[in-house]
A and B are shown apart, each in its own frame.
Chain A
Amino acid sequence: MKSTKARLRFGKAVKTLLAVSLASIFMLPLLWVFSNSLRPGSETFTWLDPISWQTFFPANPNFDNYLALADTSLGQGILNSLWTTLLTLVFGLALCSGAAYALAALEFRGRQLLFSVVIFSLLIPFDAIAIPLVSMFKGLGLQNTVAGLILPGVANGMAIFLLRTFFLGIPKELVEASRIDGLNWFGVFFRIYLPLSKPALVGASLILFLFQWHAYIWPLLIGTGERTLLGPIALANMKSQYAVDFGLVFAGSVLLSVIPLALILVGQKYFIQSSSTSGIK
C-alpha cells in the first residue's frame, strides 16, 4: 500500500517537472519579447551571446517604449483596434443573440431552413472569401471606413450556433407562463433569455472579440487609412521598415497580446463550459 502511495507521489513530481519544462519552452519567446519591451531597442539583440539572466530580465527596466508608442502609427493602430473590436462586440452580440433567440424560441415556418443557412455559413471560412468580398465592399464605398472593418465580424455563425444551443436548454414552460402573463416576444428575450444565459454570452463575446482582434487579411485589404489602420497591420508595417526599433515593436506586441489574454483568462471557464455543451464535440 505504502509503495503505491510513494509511486503516486513520484509520478506527480515527474509530471510537475515535465510540465515546468514544457511551460518554460512556451513562455520563453514571450518572456524575451516582454523583457526587451522594457529596454531600449538598440539592446534587443545584445544579450543573446551567451544567454544569461539578463536575456530575460532587464537590469534597468523602464516603460519608455510604451510611452513612445503614443506618437506612432502603431499606438494609433492599437487604439483603432480597441474601438473597432468594441463595436464588433456590441453589434455582434446584439445580432447573434437575437438570431439565436429567434431560432431557438420562436416557432415559424422555414425555421429549419434559416438555421441551415447559419450552418452552411460556418462551412465557408471567412479568410478564404475575404478577397472576393473586398470588391463588393469597395463598390459600396466601404473602403477605409469603420463600418467596412466591423461588418464581416458582426454576424458570426459560430456565436449564433453556441447561443442557440444554450437557449434551447431554457425550459419552454417558463416562456409559456410569461407569455400568459402578458410578456411579448421582446420581453421574453430581455427578461428571460438574456439574464439566464451569462456563460453562453461570455463564450460568444470571446468568439466575436477574438475574430476581430486577431483579424489580419481583412483589415489589410479594406482599411489602411489613419482611422482604420489596425494594430496588427501597423505592427507588421513597422517591422518591415528598413531600421526596425524592436523595443517599440515588442512593446506594441505586448499590448496587442495582453488585452485578449486578460479576456481569455477571465472567460476561460465559461468558454470550455459552453464549447463542451454546445455539441461541437
Chain B
Amino acid sequence: MKRKELYWALLVFLAPAVLALVVMRILPAAQALIESLFKTNVFSGEKTFVGVDNYVSLFENPDFQNTIAVTILFAFLVNPIQVFSALLLALLFVRAFPFSRLLRSLIIFPIAVPPAVAAVMWSAVYRPDGLANGILKSLGLSTQGFILDEEQALMAIIVMLSWIGVGYWMLFLIAGLNDIPDEIYEAARIDGAGYIRQTVSVTMPLLGRPLSFVLVATTISNFLVFAPVLILTRGGPVGSTSLLMYDIFLRAYSFGDIGRANAGVFILILLMVTAVSLQFFLLRKGNQQ
C-alpha cells in the first residue's frame, strides 16, 4: 500500500518535469551532435552521413573563421568588463549611504528590459541623430558611427549588454560581500589595514566563490548573445559583430544548412565548456597560491 502510494507520488510529482527536461534539453543536444554528422538535401530532405565533413568545411570557411575570431574576442572583452564593473558597483553599494537603496534600484532597472527590447531602444540611441551623438555634441565632442562603424560596433554591443547585465551580477556580489563577517574587517583595521588593503587582502580572497560564479554565469550568457546582433547590426559592418549564435541562426534559416548549423551548435557548446573549465582551473590555481 505504502509502496503503491510512493509510486503514484513519483509519477505525478517527478515524472513530468524529468520527462520534459530530457525531451527538451538533453535530446536536442544529442540530436545536434548527430545531425552535425549528416548532410541534409535542401530539396529532397534526404540525409547522408558525412562524418566530420561539416566541421572541416566550417573551419575552412573564411566567414566562419571570422565568426570564431569575433566570438572569442568578444568573450575576452565583455566578460572581464562586466565582472569588473559589477564588482566595483557592489563595493560601492554594499554599505549604506544617503539614498543608497534608491540609487541601487535605479542601477538594476535595466535588468527588467528584455534583451530584444533593449536592442530596439539602443538602436535609436546609437542612430547618427540619436541620443548618444546628441550627448557627445552637447559636450563639444565629435559624433561617432557606433553600430555603423566597423571599429566600434562590437564595443557598442558590449556597452549595451553591460547596461542590461551589470546590475544583475552586482546583486550576487552584494549578497556575497554581506556574507563576509564584520569581525574579519575589524581585525584587519586593528592591524592597521586601510580600505584598499582591506579590499585586496580580505574582501577579494573571501569573495572568491560568488565572484567565480558570476564569471562563469556571465561567460555562459555572453556566448548566447543573439537578439542584439540580429536587431542592431545583423553581424555587420563587414562581419565585425558576427557572433556564433547569429552565425548558427543564419546557417539554419537563411541558408537552410541544418548539418552545418548543428555543427555550429556543438562547437558553441564546446567553446562554452572549454571557457568555463579553463576559468575553474585558473581560479583553483589562484586559490592554492
Identity of the chain A residue whose Cβ is nearest the Cβ of B221 in the assembled complex: A125
Chain B residues near A281 (CB-CB < 8 A): 172, 175-176, 179, 209-210, 213
Contact A214 B115 (CB under 8 A): yes
Chain A residues near B268 (CB-CB < 8 A): 128
Contact B35 A132 (CB under 8 A): yes
Chain A residues near B220 (CB-CB < 8 A): 125
Point out the residue from A106, A152, A249, A275 that lies within 8 Å of B13, measured CB to CB: A106
Contact A49 B137 (CB under 8 A): yes
Q: A26-B109, A124-B25, A236-B116 are in contact. Are A160 and B231 (CB under 8 A)?
A: no
Size of chain A's interface in residues, with CB distance under 8 A?
A: 89
Contact B248 A131 (CB under 8 A): yes
Q: Does A217 contact B (CB under 8 A)?
A: yes
Provide the bound-state CA to CA distance between A264 and B171, in Å.
12
Size of chain B's interface in residues, with CB distance under 8 A?
A: 93
Q: Does A6 contact B (CB under 8 A)?
A: no
Identity of the chain B residue whose Cβ is nearest the Cβ of A277 in the assembled complex: B175
Point out the residue from A98, A124, A126 that lies within 8 Å of B14, measured CB to CB: A98
Chain A residues near B167 (CB-CB < 8 A): 26
CB B211 to nearest CB in A, in angstroms, measures: 9
Q: Does A101 contact B (CB under 8 A)?
A: yes
Provide the bound-state CA to CA distance between A120 and B16, in Å.
17
Interface string of B136-164 (1 = CB under 8 A from A): 01100000000000000000000000010
Interface SS majority for chain A: helix
Contact B106 A216 (CB under 8 A): no
CB B165 to nearest CB in A, in angstroms, measures: 12
Chain B residues near A53 (CB-CB < 8 A): none
Contact A125 B107 (CB under 8 A): no
Provide the bound-state CA to CA distance between A177 and B208, in Å.
41
Chain A residues near B171 (CB-CB < 8 A): 268, 271-272
Contact B124 A18 (CB under 8 A): no
Provide the bound-state CA to CA distance between A42 and B289, in Å.
61
Binds B, one of A62-70, A168-176, A255-263: A255-263
Q: Does B70 contact A (CB under 8 A)?
A: no
Q: A29-B121, A128-B265, A132-B265 are in contact. Are A99 and B110 (CB under 8 A)?
A: no
CB B75 to nearest CB in A, in angstroms, measures: 14
Interface string of B256-289 (1 = CB under 8 A from A): 0010011001001100110000000000000000
Binds A, one of B55-63, B76-84, B127-135, B196-204: B127-135
Contact B227 A51 (CB under 8 A): no
Q: Does A151 contact B (CB under 8 A)?
A: yes
Contact B112 A257 (CB under 8 A): yes
Point out the residue from A50, A120, A136, A152 that lies within 8 Å of B26, measured CB to CB: A120
Provide the bound-state CA to CA distance between A124 and B181, in Å.
35
Contact B138 A51 (CB under 8 A): yes
Q: A132-B35, A235-B117, A264-B111 are in contact. Are A48 and B130 (CB under 8 A)?
A: yes
Point out the residue from A12, A98, A250, A264 that lies within 8 Å of B16, measured CB to CB: A98
Contact B17 A239 (CB under 8 A): no
Q: Does B6 contact A (CB under 8 A)?
A: yes
Chain A residues near B262 (CB-CB < 8 A): 131-132
Contact A49 B134 (CB under 8 A): yes
Chain B residues near A132 (CB-CB < 8 A): 28-29, 31-32, 35, 262, 265
Interface string of A244-281 (1 = CB under 8 A from B): 00100110010011101100110010011001100011
Q: A33-B121, A136-B28 are in contact. Are A128 and B6 (CB under 8 A)?
A: no
Provide the bound-state CA to CA distance between A132 and B123, in Å.
30
Chain A residues near B12 (CB-CB < 8 A): 98, 186
Q: Does A201 contact B (CB under 8 A)?
A: no
Contact B112 A260 (CB under 8 A): yes
Which 7 pairs of residues, A with B, have the shortest CB-CB distance?
A48-B134, A155-B20, A99-B17, A261-B112, A102-B14, A98-B13, A232-B116
18 A–B contacts from the bound complex (CB under 8 Å): A28-B131, A30-B109, A32-B131, A49-B137, A103-B14, A106-B10, A118-B17, A118-B21, A127-B245, A128-B223, A128-B269, A131-B252, A131-B261, A185-B9, A214-B115, A250-B121, A253-B113, A256-B117
